[in-house]
Amino acid sequence: MNFDLDQIEDIKKNGIDTETAREILDLDEVHYFEKIMPLAKQLRHEAFGNEVSFCTITNAKSGACIEDCGFCAQSANYKQAPSPVYPLMSTEKILEKAKEAESIGGTEFSIVTSGRGMNKQRELDTIVDAITQIRQQTDLETCASLGLMQREDLQKLKDAGMIHYHHNIETARSYFPNVVTSHSWEEEVETVKLAKEMGFEVCCGGIMGMGENKDQRIEFIFQLKEIDPDSIPLNFLNPRPGTPMAHLHDLTPLDCLKLISVIRLAMPEKELFICGGKEVNLQHYQDKIYDAGASGAMIGNYLTTQGRSPQQELALAEKLGFKPVGPHRKVRSKEDKSKEDKFKVSYA
């Protein structure tokens, strides 16, 4: 591999191809740190300067889900998987969680619910109220992750002023049936596509380390590139006891850094958040995520696992000279906001 910083203009314009991505994933530690990390760091810097974003989530409704996502302790199919089960929080409780998130340094707040999608109007009304109140009472950017969605339900969230919609495609299309059988990869993409068409800033990513091979990791990254979300949340599997993936420990800390860099080099200008599983998978390399190309991280707790303390994340960002800002600043600064034209998914 003959990468050097002189190639940065070409990579900035086009991103790397799948062949180069594969070469990076096969690199040893010395060559990765010498050749790839500096390039990823430079691209990150060109796109985001000294800014980082921190998103936070609240698990507003937990467990008792009829879907069978193999990584998820909230599925009712995995009775041995310990996970809290509770109905949707009240508007007041969600608002309280949002204020807590803002007080620990979050710049974006996402309301997450378990389940295939929103099938109770009463629950959607609670979330719409919560979005309205959060916008009135905090400076947080609002987001929700409510599963597969219909246009009319998304419209209600949009009318309440919600900016982002989060929905993951989880993994490569070819590997998806090994992870989920109760719904399809195409259904996931349809929700992402709909949210994009409706003008939400869309956050779409998935989970690495679920038993997929390197080719499938690359397939997933380049399928994300086609989908063209505004930001990418990257999770690394933190295997949950009692789930079908409880035995998987597929990623080394170096694998995680290389995956972050491949995404940065494939999509030089995208927001890239490192989310669930970063503590257990990145271990001693956790502080290197920004050098590897990340533009932000999730802080606070994840859905069913605990993250590093927000104070530690903020202290690290400060030590590295970063300034926390709201996500999607690049997207918002563009004059042309007609993102519908950019959506050219060829998965059909």
Footprint of ligand SF4 (CB under 6 A) = 65, 67, 69, 72, 74-75, 114-116, 147
User: What minimum distance in Å lies between the beta carbon of 207 and ligand SF4?
Assistant: 10
If the CB atoms of residues 16 and 60 are measured against ligand SF4, the closer one turns out to be 60
If the CB atoms of residues 72 and 195 are measured against ligand SF4, the closer one turns out to be 72
Total length of the chain:
348
User: What minimum distance in Å lies between the beta carbon of 263 and ligand SF4?
Assistant: 21
Which residues have a Cβ under 8 Å from the Cβ of 345 and sit 6 or more positions away? 189, 193, 226, 227
Distance CA 299, CA 256 (A): 18
> For 140-175, b where at least 16 C-beta lie within 10 A, e where not — what string?
bbbbbbbbbbeeebbebbbebebbbbbbbbbbbbeb
Number of H helices, E strands in the chain: 14, 10
User: What minimum distance in Å lies between the beta carbon of 15 and ligand SF4?
Assistant: 29
Q: The tokens 């099938």 sit on which residue?
A: 119
If the CB atoms of residues 180 and 218 are measured against ligand SF4, the closer one turns out to be 180
User: What minimum distance in Å lies between the beta carbon of 26 and ligand SF4?
Assistant: 31
Which residues have a Cβ under 8 Å from the Cβ of 271 and sit 6 or more positions away? 53, 230, 231, 232, 295, 296, 327, 328, 330, 331
If the CB atoms of residues 243 and 281 are measured against ligand SF4, the closer one turns out to be 243
User: What minimum distance in Å lies between the beta carbon of 82 and ligand SF4?
Assistant: 14
CA distances in angstroms from 56 to 109, 160, 251, listed in the order given: 5, 20, 24
Determine phi and psi for 106, rounding to 5 degrees. Answer: -65, 145
If the CB atoms of residues 191 and 231 are measured against ligand SF4, the closer one turns out to be 191
User: What minimum distance in Å lies between the beta carbon of 220 and ligand SF4?
Assistant: 16
If the CB atoms of residues 40 and 202 are measured against ligand SF4, the closer one turns out to be 202
